[in-house]
Structure formats: structure tokens, C-alpha cells
Amino acid sequence: MLFHLVLLILALSSAQQPVSLDPLVRQSQEAIQAGRYSEAREKLRQALKHDPRNPVLWSYLGLADTQLNDVDAGITDFQKALLFAPQDAQTHFNLGLLYRRKGHSQKALEMYQRGLGLDPKDAAANQNYALLLMETGKFREAIPFLQKLRALGVTDLSVSVALIESYLKAGMNEEGKREIQSLLQSPTVSSMDQLKLAKVLVEDKQPEAAQLVLEHAVRISPESAEAHAQLGQLLANKDQYEDAAREMGQAVHFSPEVADYSMKLAEILILWKHYPSALEFLAATKNRFGELAEYQYKLGLAYFGLHQVPQAIAVFENLTQTHPEVDLVHFFLGNCYQTTGDFEKAEPHYKRAIELNPQKASYYAALAQMLRKQSKDRTEEATTYLERALLLDPQDVQSKLELALCHEKRLNYPKAQSLLEEVVQQQPDLIASHVALARVYFRLKKKEEGNRERSIIAQLEAEQQARKSQPEKPPEFPIR
């Protein structure tokens, strides 16, 4: 953009300068071309003393100041240029650019709007204006400018992506889908481009659109492992594990040597709670990937999921030796030991996980729960950890409930009551919180409130009972 500006200025300058300023202007041009912006600025300032109403010189100076990261000065310079050449579209565009850089979106938009009024066919300006509109949430307004880019011959994939995004975010889903279809059918768009598009859509939180693209990609390139993998990952993110497993399985099938695909498939099977299948798959890929930390980690999770806790412990313990800095491993090892009741072994691993990743609220909550269960004497310590968890995630229901239970254990019933009342508001169907609150009310001799909670508990339990007594549906798919 700025290079474009430079050329324009150079072109203009040669036609406009008076003979007496020529050396200064020429020197400043040379300096700019050579990237010697400080020198150019000096020369231009001197030139402007002689010709202060020269818009070109002001534009030059704006360029130099901008290159020297003095955006405020650059804005002032271009404002001066505009004062003396108000019909110059490019100056408008330059100001738009600089206002955007300063975060003054509204001013930037105005500049682009005015500039495009003067020169509606400037592709770069149209693109920037459209993007600015998108940035400020004006997706519907951005659409005509993106379409104009097409008309101006700009066929870059990024324009299509921006157009798709704008359609979808403006609620014009049909148009968005049509645009996607159109893009996908375009002979100029390679499958690599499609995958890039899908990635962008995912990052842009447009999973439905991304799914359309990927499903198309796997249709036209059924042997593309990457397409299957991306689709599998997207489906897993939507908790559609069966489909995700199928797609990722295809990725593995076509590229069995790619560790990422195999590890992701193992992860999907684990998230899907198909632990035996995960174990089977990991066993089958042991020769290829068995040495990877990621493999060992998934193996541990699969064992843990199957309640094969001693095996899970063995795997995680080994991982802590080979990869002592992985917080998740320590966390799960803590969970394993807590499951077996070996709190003494669990504790250092939880603490190590926290040390390695102090931003994970769930680590503090898990450690705190273990401490509370271990002994009344450790509830104060547990409380400290839970307070940290709540600093990280003030709305976390589990941490609040756990903290309330700690307060209860320490006979601090008013504090427990206050927290539990928040929890039951946040998650009214969590029976355990009502039970704890009822207990606390009774301890505080608040019989009426306690009995009210009892009624709520009875209601929730009856609903739970009714749900669980439904006849089983036969499985809809074979398990093996």
C-alpha cells in the first residue's frame, strides 16, 4: 500500500515542483527511494518552508513520518495535503490507513468513504474499506465492496473468504452457501485452497461453513488425508465423535505414517469414551508411534478411561520421567492416584501441574478436592487453592461448590451458604449443590430453608429417576 503511495507521489511530483525547489525535492525523492526517511524528512521540511501549500510535499512528508513510525505526524501531514488538495482520493486513502492504525475506526471509515467517492475503482481502497467495515461488525455494508473487488478483477481467495464470512455473519446464509459452492466449483481453486479456506472459516468461528467446504473437499479428493483429517477435527470439535472417528480414520488410512492423524484419532476415540477401541488402535500403532510422548499420553488416558488405573499410572509415571514438563501428564497422574485413594502420591503431581501451568483452574480445583477429602486439617489449604481457581474462572461452578464444601467442613456455614446459593442459581439442576445447601441450612437451624431444599432435591431426584427408568434403546450401530 505504501509502496503504491510512493510511486504515485513520485509521479505527481515530477509534474508539479517549481524550479527553485527542485534540488530539495529531488533529494528527498532519492532519500525516500533509498529508504533514508530521516534524511527525506529533513529535506521535505526545508522544502515546505518555501512552499508550505504544496500538497505533494505534505504527502511526501506524511510518507516519511509514517515510515519513521510517527503516525500522529503522518496524519497531520496528510491532513495538510488534503487541505490543499481536497479532491485527491489517494490522500483520503492514506489517512484512512493511518486512522485505522491508530484505532480510530470511524475516522478511517469516513476517509475511505470520501476517497472512494472520488475514486470508486481503487481496488486496494475497496478491499481496505471492506475489511474495515468487517472489523467494525458492519458485515452487510462490506458486501458490495467485496463484490466490487470481484468486478475489478481481484480474484484472490481472501476476497472470497471475506465475502463468505460477511454473508454468514450478516445472516445471509443462503448467499453464503452459494458463495461457498461457487468457490468450490471454481476450477481455479485448488484443494489446497479449499483446505486453507476451511481453516480460515474454523478460525473465524464459522464451523458450519467450514464443514461444507471440507465435505466438498473430501468428495472431490476422497484420498486426501488432510481433507479427511480437517473434517474429522471439525466434527470432533462439535462432539460428533462417530463421524469424526470415521473421517480421521480415513486420514489415517491414507497417511498412516503421519503421527498427527493417528494421535488425533486416538483422542477422538477417547473423547467418545470408546476406550477399548482406543487401546486397540494404539496397540496397532505402537511400532510406529510408541516412542512419542503424545502416544504415551493417549495410552494413559485410555487406560484411565477403562478404570485400568494401575496401567494408567505406569504410563503416566514413565512420561513424567521422559517429559517432566508436561502439565497435563502430572494432572492426570494426580487423578489416577486420587482414584486409588493414594492422596500422598497424588498431591505432588497436582502441585507440579499447577507449577507448570498456573492458569488452569481445574488443576487447583482437583487438588483442593483431594485435600478436603484427605483431612479436615487440610481444608484451609484447599480453600487457598480454590480461591486461586476462582480468580482464574470466577464463574466455575465446580470450584465454587468445592469451596463451599471446604467451608462446611470447617464449620464456616455462613460462607458455605453464600457460595452454595450462588451455585444453585447458576446451575439449578445440580443435586449435589442442593444437598450441601440443605445440610448447611439445617446446621444453621434454618429449618424452613432446609426443607425447601429437600423438596427441590426430591423433585430433581424424581426427574432423574424417571429419565433413568426409560427402557433402553438398542444400539444404533455395531459397537465393534
Under the rule (CB under 8 A), what is the footprint of another protein?
272-277, 306-311, 340-341, 372-376, 401, 405, 409, 431-436, 438-439, 442-443, 450, 454, 457, 461, 465, 468-469, 472, 475, 479-480
Q: How far is the CB of 469 from another protein (least distance, A)?
A: 5
Of 80 and 378, which has the nearer Cβ to another protein? Answer: 378
Q: How far is the CB of 240 from another protein (least distance, A)?
A: 15
Q: How far is the CB of 316 from another protein (least distance, A)?
A: 16
Of 254 and 442, which has the nearer Cβ to another protein? Answer: 442
Of 321 and 465, which has the nearer Cβ to another protein? Answer: 465
Residue with cell 509534474: 15
Question: Contact 337/343 with Cβ under 8 angstroms?
Answer: yes
Q: How far is the CB of 460 from another protein (least distance, A)?
A: 12
Residues 6+ apart with CB under 8 A from 53: 84
Of 359 and 465, which has the nearer Cβ to another protein? Answer: 465
Q: Is the sign of the CA dihedral 361, 363, 366, 369 positive or negative?
A: negative
Question: Contact 422/396 with Cβ under 8 angstroms?
Answer: no
Q: How far is the CB of 412 from another protein (least distance, A)?
A: 15
Rg (CA), the chain: 32
Name the DSSP letter for residue 138. -
The alpha helices in 393-471, defined as continuous H runs, are: 397-409, 413-426, 431-443, 447-468
Of 174 and 472, which has the nearer Cβ to another protein? Answer: 472
Of 164 and 266, which has the nearer Cβ to another protein? Answer: 266
| Geometric angle at alpha carbon 136, from 134 and 139, rounded to 5° | 35
Of 35 and 471, which has the nearer Cβ to another protein? Answer: 471
Q: How far is the CB of 396 from another protein (least distance, A)?
A: 16
Assigned C-alpha cell, 56 = 505533494
Q: How far is the CB of 463 from another protein (least distance, A)?
A: 13
Q: How far is CA 341 from CA 253, 287, 337, in A?
A: 41, 34, 6
Dist. CA 217–CA 295, nearest whole Å? 29
Residues 6+ apart with CB under 8 A from 328: 297, 353
Name the DSSP letter for residue 378. G
